[in-house]
Homo-oligomer: A and B are copies of this chain.
Amino acid sequence: MRQQPYHHGDLRRALLTEAVTVIGESGPHAVSLRDLARRTGVSHAAPQHHFGDKAGLLTAIAAEGFELLARSLESAGDDLLDAGVAYVRFATSHKAHFEVMFTPALYHADSPEVAAPRERAGEALAARAPKRREARLAAWSIVHGFATLWLSGALTDIGDDPAAAARPVIRLLLR
């Protein structure tokens, strides 16, 4: 006779989705386990069962993010320019994941749960990048910098399609 069944069905997935929404709107610091529980209609301690602690929730988001990034890069083809644009597109269209992924103080960055997909994304990137270390660093830096600058609101005069705006910028390095 209760409105919500005792077992949610897929609470873990629901919490992750809700968390990504909140982070995307207000940043990682704005997320609260109790608030997520309220939004999902469960008790205040339910999230702890699935993630252990708050860092565990963010670890799951980071892992999912590296997985998604790896897939994005893999499906971008072998061209370095296209891969770079795909990197920017991923970052700006998965704001929440990206912010968490590169803020290791927020989660269990050394957990195997996140190390595996991170390595997979790293390999996808390395396979399309130049062989010389400096050139590889330059390529990663320019796309990562463009993405983070856009995410932090420093690039307002660029239009509403950051991935498209990134293409001619990246080309300057690859010429």
Seed contacts A109-B153, A141-B143; 4 additional CB < 8 Å A-B pairs: A102-B149, A135-B172, A141-B146, A142-B145
Which chain B residues lie closer than 8 Å to A148 at the CB level?
A: 102, 144-145, 148
In the assembly, what is the distance between CA of A146 and CA of B173, in Å?
14
Which chain B residues lie closer than 8 Å to A126 at the CB level?
A: none
Task: List the number of copies, as a whole number.
Answer: 2
Interface residue count for A (Cβ, 8 Å)? 35
Task: Answer whether residue A127 sits at the interface, using C-beta atoms and an 8 A cutoff.
Answer: no
Of residues 35 through 88 on chain A, the ones whose CB sits less than 8 Å from some CB of chain B are none
Q: List residues of A whose CB falls within 8 A of some B CB.
A: 26-30, 102-106, 109, 134-135, 137-138, 140-149, 152-155, 158, 168-170, 172-173
Task: Tell which of A138, A143, A168, A170 has the most Cβ of chain B within 10 Å.
Answer: A138
Which chain B residues lie closer than 8 Å to A147 at the CB level?
A: 145
Q: Is B29 a contact partner of A168 (Cβ separation < 8 A)?
A: no
